[in-house]
Amino acid sequence: MLMKSLITRHNRVAVAFIERQYTTTTQIPYILRWMKSETTKKSEPLYDGHIPINLLQRAVLSVGSSIVALTDPARGDMVAVNGESSGHSALKKMHRKMLESEEGRQILMERPKINSSTIDIEKLKSYPDGTLGREYTKFLEVNNVSPDTRLPVRFVDDADLAYVMQRYRETHDLVHTLLGCPTNMLGEVAVKWVEALQTELPMCIGGAVFGPIRLKPKNRSTYLSKYLPWAIGVGSRSSFLMNVFYERRWEQDIAELRDELKIETPPGV
């Protein structure tokens, strides 16, 4: 009796195994065709500066750019390319989060850009201390950066998601201001942690995890004891920073804005 049931069970398993082999074998031409189309298909440009890429090119770009971004700190463009080529699902999530908020929807409708021709830096300098505008211009001066250095998005294969990526890039400096982090290695890693937890972009996660490798030994203990826990706390508890319509809040007090967004006071400030 036992032998009979074992044999029947064995037969059933064998038949199931053979059936699976059969279906896979007959699927091979379709699988090959899918692989070929994924690696060779091309579409038309969807926005200014768009370079449509297929799966194989995307793979080469993301792997190559992550290696170069880690080994050559001078290649900031590789960080940007890495974000674009590997960030498709994260960008979709960010887009959805923006659509769920009123302010985010307004940003997506109006599509504001941040560069030296759209924001009047001189006017922002004249605002009182403690306002977002003034603190932002102080940040630009102290760290010697300009809002014009952001590369245009090229490798995102969707016009809306390309704008989300562009907005992320342009508001990076404003996130620095809100978090009170300078542009040295410690500050950048802290900001990357916050961005990684909020946006889930693989580039941010990679930067947050591998960035500290470049930290000098004396900074490592401050990083581990102060900045890291703070950054993780802010990243998980604060509201979604992409939903902040910065252009309408230049006159708002920065401490008030931090309260509104649930950002805890930075350790250095």
Q: Which residues bind other proteins (CB under 8 A)?
A: 39-40, 51, 53-54, 56-57, 60-61, 64-65, 68, 75, 77-78, 81, 154
CB of 131 to other proteins, least distance (A): 38
CB of 210 to other proteins, least distance (A): 17
Give the residue with the Cβ less far from other proteins, 95 or 154.
Answer: 154
CB of 11 to other proteins, least distance (A): 44
Give the residue with the Cβ less far from other proteins, 61 or 194.
Answer: 61
Give the residue with the Cβ less far from other proteins, 71 or 117.
Answer: 71
Give the residue with the Cβ less far from other proteins, 68 or 185.
Answer: 68
CA atoms of 257 and 246, how far apart (whole Å): 10
CB of 149 to other proteins, least distance (A): 14
The rounded Cα 33 to chain-centroid distance in angstroms is: 32
Helix, coil or strand: residue 19:
helix
The residue length of the chain stands at 269
Helix, coil or strand: residue 253:
strand
How far are the Cα atoms of 6, 51, 78, 103, 145 from residue 168, in angstroms, in the given order? Answer: 61, 19, 16, 15, 17
CB of 157 to other proteins, least distance (A): 14
SS (H, E, C) 115-151: CCCCCCHHHHHCCCCCEHHHHHHHHHHHHCCCCCCCC
Give the residue with the Cβ less far from other proteins, 53 or 132.
Answer: 53
